[in-house]
Structure 1
């Protein structure tokens, strides 16, 4: 029986610049993303890598405290290690951070196992159902693209460059009537595209229903969290007939039966970051399959390391019915030697052993230094407290 022992665990914090000052419900993005990297080193010389986000701050201090639970253990016994780190008892204390702590550790372990056996992670998990994964355009308003015309011009550049056919629009920033006009203008520019609208729960129920009804005739894939609570989502779905997706009211396995019984949503946007890694995402897939709910994939922001893990997750999931989200197009740089390419709206699933991406150590060192210079940032991106539903929207130049 093959046993590869964990010799050391290194945890690093990096910050990578992003293009543009992205606007979202919580305010203006600071122009960089913070990531936590986990490197697991084995006694056989095989090294694995994983990555997680953290909402603007590094999770390194928490993961550092778990190193002693990993060192000396069999790197192949992933289930045992998950139980040591992410058991229900531990979850009582760490709650929603725990899946994000476990994800990079599991990714690094799968990377090691795949490299040791000479197979990709998706083949390790039973084989790819898809060779490439469709991704959605992720369109944010920015400080430089506030008008309808500016947003459409920016979206056109992104869609033409990458060949997207599914377009996600981040809303909840400006008044609903402004954002409705943006969707209509985009639909006129791209009549064959599919649209997903994500106000991050910023609208009240009346605003959400009115927005939905004003978009009749447009190819809407789904509304993602148009309102905040589970009961309001159910009411919105019942009033409009639109497909409803969420990555806020169902973020734990315990939430799934509740949304199913209430008939609140159609699609749960899982991801390996928030659902206990790749194995957790597969467990979510099976759970939703049994209940007749649909599966999508949310993006909390990622470099090529976590995106590769997302691609492997998507490649082995039989009921992923939607293009996955990714912020990848906004990164100014990456920490892998050959960045993942989006062509015709799709990314090829890596086929080399393990994650299938080659780490660039010099880039990691560069962005470790950048993190030391810039540090963490609060996800709440502005001084004023943002209420949910939102009572005060950002002013635009075209809807006074």
Structure 2
């Protein structure tokens, strides 16, 4: 019997990359987005990669886990999980932007486990010369569809030069943004991040998008910015326009009240964010689509398990995105490739990176899809020079925790994050 493939070392590197001033119901993106890159080295000399959030509390837990992984069998994900649980203990480090639901120790464990599980799977797959999707059950599709992810945004961060995506604060700006993104990447579905302007103005933006792109499925995500009554009014006025309405109002009971009368499915990445949320959501009929995200569901295997549960209960499946880099895009692509139940185009923030990445050859979005790589592992290789530059940017940028609300208050001191707002 061959010797087991074990961990010989782990490196966690925080990085920062420029982020445009994208508006949401919590505030506005800061000039720098934070991520953490996980490298797991094995006894065969290969390295597995993972990517996750870069906020200071989360980063501290990543380092705590990394310190005790040496000697662990790379194929023993159960042992990895037990180690993460012990290292996290009773810690609770919720996401700082507040756009992915509540917090708990169990959710913190899932967020901390994810990048290590992805890195272990990447290392496993590299060791046997197979792509990661092969470890998740095989390839259900050769190409993964992604959606154009539109945001209301300023032309530039205050005091900076305008970025390449221009201003978008009204329907004309949103349509222009969509046209530019579709011309560049060929997206065949469109999602608008709402919860920023009064509902009537966001309805007008959806109507303008439908007029400009009559064949593209549309989605609207206000991140719980509306009351139940407002959600129902918007749902009625966008009947026939949206393939789904995402998180219009807070909480499973509120979503259930809207879902009972809305003419389109409701989707969520805020009220169903862990396995413990599923029984109530199913019982109350609160959601028709769950947006999986391996970064906070506990990794790729847990997300595949979520897909099976959703299929069992007749719930559709899409995939949530946060500001991310090429390792996450590759992990999302392999997960989507191995998930037959995935019925909707996947969210991605990749266009908002403006070409900045930590991998040598990021997977490309062409005609709205990413071709699933058949090379060993995730199919991406770390760019050491880029990693070093982006770590220097992290050290220089001065941001250690994402806080969209505090950043917006620098320019609008009376701004309050309220859910619901309208």
Q: After TM superposition, is the score higher than 0.5?
A: yes
Report the Cα distance in structure 2 between the residues aligned to 1:9 and 1:96, rounded to whole angstroms: 23
**Residue 238 (1) aligns with residue 260 (2):** yes
Counterpart secondary structure, 2:234: helix
Question: Structure 1: how far apart are the matches of 2:316 and 2:334?
Answer: 19
Is it true that 1:14 corresponds to 2:15 in the alignment?
yes
Contact conserved, 2:26 with 2:417, CA < 8 A, in 1?
yes
Q: Is the 8 A contact 1:270 1:296 kept in 2?
A: yes
- CA apart distance, 1:273: 0.7
Unaligned 5+ residue runs, structure 2?
A: 93-104, 155-166, 410-414
| Other-structure match for 1:24 | 24
Quick one: distance in 2 between partners of 1:89 and 1:366?
30
1:271 aligns with 2:293: yes
The residue aligned with 1:106 is: 117
Match of 2:33 in 1: 33
Q: Structure 2: how far apart are the matches of 1:125 and 1:266?
A: 24
Work out which of the residue numbers 388, 392, 397 in structure 1 matches 2:419: 388
Q: CA deviation at 1:100?
A: 1.8
1:277-307 per-position Cα deviation (integer Å, ceiling 9, x unaligned): 0001011111112222221111122101011
1:238 and 1:305 mapped to 2: Cα distance? 39
Distance in 2 (CA, whole Å) between partners of 1:181 and 1:242 is: 18
Secondary structure of 1:203's partner? Answer: coil
Cα distance in 2, alignment partners of residues 92 and 263 from structure 1: 32
Partner of 1:184, secondary structure, is helix
Q: Distance in 1 between matches of 2:89 and 2:304?
A: 21
* CA–CA distance in structure 2, aligned partners of residues 91 and 132 of structure 1: 40
Query: Is residue 2:282 matched to residue 1:282?
Result: no
* Structure 1 Cα separation of the partners of residues 64 and 49 of structure 2: 18
What is the CA deviation profile of residues 150-183 of structure 1, one whole-angstrom value per residue up to 9, with x for unaligned ones?
A: 2211111112221112100000101111111010
User: How many Å separate the matches in 2 of 1:203 and 1:390?
Assistant: 6
Q: Name the counterpart of 2:176.
A: 153
Match of 1:208 among 228, 231, 238: 231
Helix, strand or coil at the partner of 1:95:
helix
Q: Cα RMSD (Å) of the superposition?
A: 1.8
Matching of residue 350 in structure 1 with residue 373 in structure 2: yes
- Alpha-carbon distance in 2 for matches of 1:294, 1:207: 24
Q: Aligned partners of 2:153, 2:344: CA distance in 1, in Å? A: 26
In structure 2, the CA distance between the partners of 1:145 and 1:390, relative to structure 1 (3 Å rule), is same
Contact 2:136 2:335 in 1 (8 A): no
Q: Cα gap change, 1:86/1:284 in structure 2, threshold over 3 Å: closer, same or farther?
A: farther
Residue 88 (structure 1) shift: 12
| Aligned equivalents of 1:43, 1:141: Cα separation in 2 | 48
Closer, same or farther: CA 71–244 of 1 in aligned 2, 3 Å: same
Q: TM-score, normalised on structure 1?
A: 0.93
| Aligned partner of residue 373 in structure 2, secondary structure | coil
Q: Equivalents in 2 of 1:92, 1:62: separation in Å?
A: 9
Where 1:69 maps in the other structure, the secondary structure is coil
CA shift for structure 1 position 271: 1.4
Q: CA offset at residue 89 of structure 1?
A: 9.3
1:251 lines up with 2:273 in the alignment: yes
Retained in 2: the 8 A contact 1:271–1:298?
Answer: yes
Cα deviations across residues 11-45 of structure 1 (Å, max 9, x unaligned)? 11000113x31111111211321001111112221
Instruction: Name which of 403, 411, 421 aligns with 1:378.
Output: 403
How many angstroms does 1:128 deviate by? Answer: 0.7
Instruction: Give CA deviations for 1:341-370 in whole Å, capped at 9, x if unaligned.
Output: 111110111211111101101000000000
Which residue in the other structure is 2:135 paired with? 124
SS across alignment from 1:296: strand
Deviation at 1:87, TM superposition (A): 7.4
Please state how far the C-alpha of 1:95 moved relative to its aligned partner: 3.2
User: What is the CA distance between 1:213 and its match in structure 2?
Assistant: 1.1
Seen in structure 2, the aligned counterparts of structure 1 residues 231 and 88 have a Cα distance that, compared at 3 Å, is farther
Q: Is the 8 A contact 1:57 1:378 kept in 2?
A: no
**Structure 1 position 4, deviation (Å):** 1.1
The equivalent of 2:207 in structure 1 is 184
User: Secondary structure of 2:16's partner?
Assistant: strand
Q: Give the direction of change, closer, same or farther, for the CA distance of 1:198–1:57 in structure 2 (3 Å limit).
A: farther
1:326 is paired with a residue whose SS is: coil
Asked whether the equivalents of residues 114 and 354 of structure 1 are also in contact (C-alpha less than 8 Å), the reply is yes
Asked if 1 retains the 8 angstrom alpha-carbon contact of 2:219 and 2:243, the reply is yes
Q: Give the secondary-structure state (helix, strand or coil) at the position aligned to 1:83.
A: helix
Contact 1:34 1:57 in 2 (8 A): no
- More off after superposition, 8-17 vs 159-168: 159-168
Match of 1:296 in 2: 318
Q: Quote the residue 1:47 is aligned against.
A: 47
